[in-house]
Structure 1
């Protein structure tokens, strides 16, 4: 088969989607299939098939006649001229023109990596070619927390009445509607699509992500820019510094931990809009000297090798690769009970689960594990064994190919 993996967002990129796409491409090609990736080039701002010549936005307008586009919310309804929505509409328009510049007829199947890409591709692909979607995230929830951070005095209903929320919620609904089959990686996402978006269960296929464990553990990477201090334990966080990740709750918990012990440091890997605010929070709590903001790192494994705990207190997360990497690297994890995270950890067996937003519980669990080396080691060992069996690349490829086969039989 010739397969097109399509993404509205930039690829390559740091993060779980690129890990999924690149590993899936490698596995499918090892099975004898041909795989192209169509996505945004973050450097040029153009959509292109990776490895092929791209056309800039001016050229696209000059060389291809404009197509009438069905908009989820017509511009005339957007009285505030919201830049976020206008930017999405502009990107969708140029993504559509760019996709038309390539021959979609050459593909046997198109696999969208987000609901916006599914929206765009569904309008222009030949009807004979199946369109499947991997629902990597809950777009409405992500935009909800983005707006929650902007409008902190608003209640939930006020947030959901904002035009930005309604717009993205409509995009999400349309993305699910326009796809022939949908891949979900967690029971939480499976239930979310059924209960909130009225997607038929017959349209859903649920199977987990995967990780190239051999490559991760054997990869030769540059040494980390920082070494574990003598007589200190390392608490590690890796991810975007955004409201949705709940890292402000981790900082609160670290402030409480400081009152009881000083034998720890926390390394925070990642960048994001909340970085300065989080640094000020550390200063207010008197832990600025123990919390290191290290920026985005490619060599995460070297930091994991030095870590005693990995903590992810997200307000929403489906199946983050950062937790998968910590598990197979043999680092005990603490996650929140939000979204798909509890499906990745058996509480007290392969890690600990804290109530979302509960900084006091997060503190207690970190303190308990820092006090108990044998328990930490037992959790790490069991998590590593579970992860090695669960995050199988072969299973991912087989499940994906079976989904493609079923999608082709639908048409």
Structure 2
């Protein structure tokens, strides 16, 4: 009997401990926050995508911040981690606040600031894994290109919200990016004193990572790169760390930018999502054919975008392939004729090609479409060859030139060449 009692006590003890353990696991296992979102229709996704593109283009951050459920996305990144509910909520709150503070504003603020002088446009709505997505083209004021594939869901009140997005520049969903930063931080906080002693210099210093982001946000890119190089190797070698370096180096350009791109492509040699950053890498090497092939790859991955003809034209221009550049730019202008900056880019190509008839035609289009008037261009260096041509004399004789009005100078139309140092979009 005694043995039986002991066995029973062991069974009871196991049941109590096991029950407590199960209860603990239930308390620490999270339900996916995004699973609570309903399915948005294609029309709802399109309406939200167009609204956000319009508001960001106008420099307004609040609409994106209101639509994007950042705490839910951070919570989604933490689903694999066993945390008590209070721990989870505290981490989500602190992580969200810290991320906003570290990067000089909310995601909406960053996107709206980046869109200044550029454009944000909804390309299409499509479905992936049962969720509607709004694919948005993002071109910043320095002509740096990125795409965001916004995942759209419906909250409990029936409102369409952004519940995650795919960033084409680094080939990850936003919750994966968050996980890449948050999970090492949690792992570090759980180490014992002995484990930290054994790890020694391999400690993951998230404070130093935040310092790099602050320097970059303040425009101190050289300092940011220098500080990045002092980060622990595990953080520098991570995908998040490598892309942080590239974003800092992009504003510096030259060898620093090239080395940052090379580091990413070496770390992820089989990653087809990196075509967008490889365009600049190939242009810096003057490897025009591979740059154009990368543009083609991006075109396929986004399902087609006419703006990529503008990107092709820029590469073809610096490659000296002017006839092809003019053809590519003409395709883009036919698709989106309302983008004034693109017409100026076409003028730049025509001037480089010494295509005086096309230069005159394009200046006429700018005048007609955007109500621009010109001063005499003979004393403007970029137009020196054009000013000696018969086409220029004919252009001067046009009726609108006789009004005597003073207007916008064509020299204001300079467009950055492909590969120029540009800050990336978030």
Of structures 1 and 2, the one with the larger relative CO (CA 8 A, separation 6+) is 1
User: TM-score scaled by structure 1?
Assistant: 0.27
Higher strand share: 1
Q: TM-score, normalised by structure 2?
A: 0.26
Higher-Rg structure is 2
